[in-house]
């Protein structure tokens, strides 16, 4: 049974799907104006692990939606800077499509399965956004202003509770921008009238021209409910999103005559720190995935670093920690290469022990996604193959499959067999040894050593390892 912390109820709960047949998940996606930083990627790694566990625990298919915020202050600002000669809408599309592609590739690189994610763009849900705005106006929960249309928290609070996630108490001060890290509590923009040079969509409200664009929060309300219905099962995101973004999503989606629950479970992960501090460009500790690969670390080493932490606690990134995670991953990879050997132990006890340790790892992951403790059992399982001459290939493959399927660490894809030519050389050396032509045998071993392949003579025959 899968259990995790539900921000909505502020306690660890067993996950129970709302209905049989399919689990519905909405994940707050990126604002596509630049590369995602490693803190963003850590959030998507945790939501990816959660999705894998939901599938494992329930046996149900998952319908998962992730949004691209492709119109907001940042995307408009940067599209102007990068594509100054284009029309505003064309510039916006050019910028955001570029970073959508980069984001998807970086998701794959860190081991996230995006094959079953339905990506949606805010700009493709303008009609649904406008319909939601009109409904809120019609129910007197939104009001018109000179510069746009705003959500009234005071009106909402007449029938609903605002602050379900953060337990915050708010006044009625107005928030006039989308920058959630600068926002104060209060009313927020649902729709913004067009400013000079901005992309905009036609919108007539009660005979008035409100040509403009949506506010940030309402985009997610329209995209999630349009695709998943209401309520849906799980809403994921970082703790940064709890207030005001997710609070405002809940308010917009549950206002008036709508169901009181937007999503049954809210899943939030804590910050990724860098050298014990929050990432900041001014501190020069604001890293992207390219900063990791430029130092020749595998993106999967970063994934392992994230999984070594706890999703509800701040995880610390440092180059030393990344190197340690990389060494751990490389060790697992080197052990798995033993499956390419021709020698194969028939030791059934190895397979039984691997299955036992994998079961223990799964149990830890099902218990509030305790990946750090699960990894200890995986280390113990890899240690079973300390004697390279005594390896049950089936047991080792089962371990690698778990790492790939449940952890997103594709050990198999990180390793390669030696070439057919190199295998032939090993056979030739065996034949030379049998013929007592030790000079030829030594020459072949030296040749393979020059290619990075070391040979070990064991009681069970010759095996190879990478130098």
What pLDDT is recorded for position 426?
A: 84
Instruction: pLDDT band for 181, please (50, 70, 90 cuts).
Output: very low
Predicted local distance difference test score (pLDDT) of residue 423: 83
Please give the pLDDT value at position 177: 46
Q: Tell me the C-alpha distance between 67 and 29, whole Å.
A: 5
Query: Taking 80 as the threshold, does the pLDDT of residue 163 lie above it?
Result: yes
CA distance 141 to 252: 9
Would you say the pTM of this structure is higher than 0.95? Answer: no
**pLDDT above 90 covers what percent of the chain?**
78
C-alpha to C-alpha distance for 152 and 346, rounded to whole angstroms: 70
Predicted pLDDT at 413: 79
Model confidence at 170, pLDDT cuts 50, 70, 90, reads: low
What average pLDDT does the segment 352-371 reach? 98
- pLDDT of 182 above 50: no
Instruction: Encode pLDDT of 183-217 as tens digits.
Output: 334 899 999 999 999 999 999 999 999 999 999 99
Instruction: Specify the pLDDT at position 459.
Output: 72
Instruction: Provide mean pLDDT across the span 262-268.
Output: 98
CATH no., domain 281-414: 1.10.730.10
The pLDDT tens digits for 115-162 are 999 999 999 999 999 999 999 999 999 999 999 999 999 999 999 999
Q: What is the DSSP letter of 203?
A: -
Q: What is the DSSP letter of 69?
A: B
Average pLDDT of the chain?
92
Q: pLDDT band at residue 174, thresholds of 50, 70 and 90?
A: very low
List pLDDT tens digits, range 275-309. Answer: 999 887 777 788 999 999 999 999 999 999 999 99
Q: What is the pLDDT of residue 171?
A: 55
Q: Which of 168-182, 342-356, 366-380, 388-402 has the highest mean pLDDT?
A: 366-380
- Does domain 3-269 fall under CATH 3.40.50.620? My reply is yes
C-alpha–C-alpha distance, residues 246 and 95, integer Å:
26
Segment 26-36 shows an average pLDDT of: 97
pLDDT at site 388: 82
Residue 420 has pLDDT above 70, yes or no: yes
Residues 359, 365, 369: CA angle, nearest 5 degrees? 175
- Buried (b) or exposed (e) across 38-59, using 16+ Cβ within 10 A? bbbbbbbbbbbbbbbbbbebbe
């Amino acid at each position: 049974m899968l259990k995790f912390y539900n921000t909505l109820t502020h306690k660890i709960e067993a996950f129970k799907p709302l209905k049989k047949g399919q689990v519905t998940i909405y994940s707050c996606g990126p604002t596509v104006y630049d590369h995602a930083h490693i803190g963003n990627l850590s959030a998507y790694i945790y939501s990816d692990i959660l999705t894998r566990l939901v599938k494992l625990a329930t046996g149900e298919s998952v319908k998962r939606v992730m949004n691209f915020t492709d119109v907001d202050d940042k995307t408009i600002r940067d599209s102007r800077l990068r594509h100054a000669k284009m029309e505003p809408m064309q510039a916006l599309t050019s910028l955001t499509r570029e970073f959508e592609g980069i984001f998807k590739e970086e998701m794959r690189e860190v081991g996230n399965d995006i094959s079953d994610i339905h990506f949606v763009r805010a700009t493709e849900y303008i009609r649904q956004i406008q319909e939601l705005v009109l409904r809120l106006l019609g129910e007197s929960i939104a009001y018109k202003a000179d510069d746009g249309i705003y959500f009234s928290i005071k009106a909402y609070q007449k029938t609903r509770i605002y602050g379900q996630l953060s337990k915050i108490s708010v006044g009625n001060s107005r928030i006039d921008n989308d920058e959630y890290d600068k926002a104060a509590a209060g009313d927020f923009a649902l729709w913004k009238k067009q400013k000079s040079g901005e992309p905009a969509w036609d919108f007539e409200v009660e005979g008035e021209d409100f040509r403009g664009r949506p506010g940030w929060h309402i985009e997610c309300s329209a995209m999630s409910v349009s695709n998943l219905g209401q309520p849906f099962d799980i809403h994921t995101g970082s703790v940064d999103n709890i207030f005001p973004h997710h609070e405002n999503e809940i308010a917009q989606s549950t206002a008036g005559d709508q169901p009181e629950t937007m999503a049954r479970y809210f899943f939030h992960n804590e910050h990724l720190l860098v050298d014990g501090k929050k990432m900041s460009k001014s501190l020069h500790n604001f890293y992207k995935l390219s900063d990791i690969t430029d130092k020749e670390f595998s993106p999967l080493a970063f994934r392992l670093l994230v999984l070594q932490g706890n999703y509800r606690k701040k995880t610390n990134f440092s180059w030393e920690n990344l190197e340690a995670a990389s060494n751990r991953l490389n060790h697992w990879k080197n052990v798995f290469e033993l499956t390419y050997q021709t020698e194969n132990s028939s030791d059934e006890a190895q397979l039984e022990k691997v299955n036992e340790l994998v079961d223990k790892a799964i149990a830890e992951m099902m218990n509030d996604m305790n990946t750090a403790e699960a990894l200890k059992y995986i280390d113990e399982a890899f240690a079973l193959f300390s004697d390279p001459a005594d390896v049950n290939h089936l047991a080792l493959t089962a371990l690698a499959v778990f790492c790939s399927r449940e952890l997103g660490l594709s050990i198999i894809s990180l390793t390669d067999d030696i070439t057919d030519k190199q295998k032939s050389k090993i056979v030739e050396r065996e034949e030379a040894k049998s013929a007592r032509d030790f000079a030829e045998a030594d020459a072949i071993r030296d040749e393979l050593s020059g290619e990075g392949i070391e040979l070990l003579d064991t009681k069970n025959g010759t095996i190879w390892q990478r130098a």
